[in-house]
Amino acid sequence: MNPTTPEKRTALFPGTFDPFTIGHESLVRRGLSLMDEVVIAIGVNESKKSYFSLEKRIDMIRKLYKDEPRVKVESYDTLTIDFAKKVGARYILRGIRSVFDFEYEKTIADMNRTISGIETFVLFTEPALTHISSTQVRELLRYGCDVSSFVPIGMELQ
């Protein structure tokens, strides 16, 4: 890279995103105000029973960001820090809804920084969105409830 050209600031936003919610969308939007690029990284977790297939989640999120070239959507089945290095991300983006989230995220962030030097930055969830979680949305979906107020406009869940 040219010494006068600043290095691209890329953040990895890891999660299962099953499904991707308006809370996630808010974090990506706010992350883009701080970073040049956000890579939404869908982790493959064989111990979790997913509602949507990995391919469906990738497709839904890619369609949502089809007109935003600064957002990439990928999947991975390695350590998050290894995948961050692979895509050139020096930062990990995480969201915090509560003090319980903080304790969990702090422990992982400290471990990731110790192992790899990758910094984690956290954004507090917008107050109006703190009650929204993928777990709750999945539960509503399982019972056939309308979840349109919890997922981004235009996201097709079928």
In the set 8, 9, 29, 48, the catalytic residue is 48
In the set 24, 57, 72, 94, the catalytic residue is 24
In the set 62, 70, 97, 113, the catalytic residue is 97
Q: For this structure, is 106 an active site residue?
A: no
Q: For this structure, is 133 an active site residue?
A: no
CA distance 96 to 153: 22
Other beta carbons within 10 angstroms of residue 39's beta carbon come to 23
Q: For this structure, is 62 an active site residue?
A: no
CA distance 138 to 135: 5
In the set 57, 72, 94, 134, the catalytic residue is 134
Q: For this structure, is 24 an active site residue?
A: yes
Catalytic residues: 24, 48, 97, 134
